[in-house]
Structure 1
Amino acid sequence: MGAFRRYACTSEHGEDWQEVDVAIASGRTAPLHSVRYALRLLEAAADHPEGLTEERLVQGAGLPPGQQRGILRMLIRDGYLRRLPDGALTVGEALLGLSSGAERQQLRRERLQRALDTLRDSIGAAVYLARYTDGELEVAHISGTPQLPVVNEWVDFRSAAHATAIGKCLLSQLDHDGRQDHLSRHKAARLTSRTITDRRTLLSALDRQPATMPVLDIQEYAVGTLCAAVPLTAGATVGCLALSLPVGQAHRLRMAAEALNRQAAPTLLTLAL
């Protein structure tokens, strides 16, 4: 059992709202790191279609020492990498088969949606996949049911990044100039009494956000709604995976956020491939 940190959620005016326990066990993010390493290996292989030795591939991917053996075995076994006659590694048929064609892209979207639906049912919460593209927030995929309803988008998510777990998670992955640029184009409007609207306070909170911990929205976007988001990063892509719960299920937020963090790794692999 890992350690936990308790956060007292307060508004910029100092009022206490609620305490939320969030896991900070370092081992809990290991699966996500493994997927990131796998993606780096695939990117390095794609950049050298002529093939690279295992040593050069690992160096090109920038993997920490001792991380590659099991990941390489998995990628070769599943057909994402293949060995050439001289022993060098290059991209495999499984990866090439997903790289082009409208039909294959549709299959990829369907596979991703199935992964999100499975994650939704496993966590017991509506889930969202979002990315930051060309200076704007985009919620690309949503999975909910009548029993696990999605958040009512009463204010366009693109204009409410300052108030949502999704938006704050994406902004936290940008550099300082990127955050400033976004906030200069989208005024931080007050959506509830708990929305942070002061730019300095918001930027400070983003600077302090640990990269391995879920970003929370405790009724900042909509009264009665709680959200958590975890980053999905692969190369230059800025993305996140998020969940939402009604405030009546606040006692489930910690465990749901932990599960989201654990299961982000296979979702990222589905998204990337």
Structure 2
Amino acid sequence: MPTLIGSVQRALRLLEAVGSHREGAPAKQLAREAGLPLPTAYHLLRTLTHEGYLRREGGVFVLGAAAQRLAVGGLQQKRRTMILDSLAHFRDAVGAPVYFAVYRDGEIEVVGVSDTPANPACEEWADFRETGHAHAIGQCLLGQLDEEARRDYFDRHPVQPVTPYTVSDMHALEQRIGGFGRMEPVTERQEYLLGTVCAAIPITAGDTAATMAISLPLHLEGRLPYAVDRLRSEVGALLSSLSFSISI
């Protein structure tokens, strides 16, 4: 095991050395910068090249496709961590589960959720993507779309009852969504899940429709206006970190 760990460490030092040279570098220079004997460096460079982490071009080594995928994956993970940290901040500030969602490629996508055992998130018992007409997240996102994009969504995901409180008449739903103020919160009461009330606020995230939402048990409905106001007041300071989610 120590030998294996040492080999991995040496390989990583070589990758770091290659990554510091945009135009690539020869084996001798990389061995020197990584503090490795030349034969060891040659062996590791050949292995890394064979596995796709490096490419040899004109006598120099440059990062390969596999290394670039690692870099992209690391960036995506960093973004996800920033989003979850932000959501946890909002969750603690409002004392309720917090959701962040976007409308991307014609579908509703919940990017992140933060809750606690004492305040659990709403159970996704019916697919969020297909029931946008029934929950505050979907209604808020659909309200930010133009009529053509909204019609495309409903053509693929027809309006139907989810609970006895769901607005299941398409004309009534369109009137409701069309009446939303540009930056006003959207609320729904037991339309998606019995015993639960939700509210969502629109988020400016470039050209992408986005929203943050909260949910509460029905018996705590009186707290909803305060929680929404608190969420809106907190969002601005951390909006820059939330915008990372758009590229995930």
TM range (shorter): 0.5 to 0.7
Matched, 1:222 2:193: yes
Aligned counterparts, 1:31-70, within 5 A = none
Kept in 1, the 8 Å contact 2:136–2:200? The answer is: yes
In 1, distance between residues paired with 2:74 and 2:237?
22
- What's 1:250 paired with? 221
- What's 2:202 paired with? 231
RMSD of aligned C-alpha atoms? 1.2
Q: CA deviation at 1:256?
A: 0.4
Deviates more, 1:259-268 or 1:125-134: 259-268
How many residue pairs get aligned? The number is 174
- What's 2:93 paired with? 122
- What's 1:205 paired with? 176
Secondary structure at the aligned position of 1:111 is classed as helix
Structure ID, larger Rg: 2
Aligned counterparts, 1:30-179, within 5 A = 101-179=72-150
Matched, 1:181 2:152: yes
Kept in 2, the 8 Å contact 1:112–1:267? The answer is: no
In 2, distance between residues paired with 1:202 and 1:264?
28
Given residue 137 of structure 1, which amino acid in structure 2 is its aligned partner? I
Q: CA deviation at 1:145?
A: 1.1
Q: CA deviation at 1:223?
A: 0.7
Kept in 2, the 8 Å contact 1:112–1:270? The answer is: yes
CA deviations over 1:107-150 (Å, ceiling 9, x no partner): 22112111101110110000000000110000010001111100
Deviates more, 1:175-184 or 1:104-113: 104-113
CA deviations over 1:47-80 (Å, ceiling 9, x no partner): xxxxxxxxxxxxxxxxxxxxxxxxxxxxxxxxxx
- Deviation >3 Å, runs of 4+: none
Secondary structure at the aligned position of 2:126 is classed as coil
Question: Whose helix fraction is larger, Structure 1's or Structure 2's?
Answer: 2
Q: CA deviation at 1:272?
A: 2.2
Q: CA deviation at 1:157?
A: 0.4
TM-score of the aligned structures, taking structure 2 as reference length: 0.68
Secondary structure at the aligned position of 2:212 is classed as strand
In 2, distance between residues paired with 1:238 and 1:175?
11
Gaps of 5+ in 1: 1-99
Kept in 2, the 8 Å contact 1:116–1:267? The answer is: no
In 2, distance between residues paired with 1:267 and 1:191?
34
- What's 1:55 paired with? none
In 1, distance between residues paired with 2:107 and 2:238?
22
Gaps of 5+ in 2: 1-70
Given residue 160 of structure 1, which amino acid in structure 2 is its aligned partner? T
In 2, distance between residues paired with 1:227 and 1:268?
21
Q: CA deviation at 1:101?
A: 3.5
Q: CA deviation at 1:235?
A: 1.9
Given residue 124 of structure 1, which amino acid in structure 2 is its aligned partner? G
Given residue 152 of structure 1, which amino acid in structure 2 is its aligned partner? E
Q: CA deviation at 1:237?
A: 1.1
In 2, distance between residues paired with 1:267 and 1:211?
21
Secondary structure at the aligned position of 2:90 is classed as helix
- Report 1 or 2 for greater relative contact order, CA contacts < 8 Å, sequence distance ≥ 6: 1
In 1, distance between residues paired with 2:146 and 2:233?
25
In 1, distance between residues paired with 2:112 and 2:211?
11
Kept in 2, the 8 Å contact 1:132–1:138? The answer is: yes
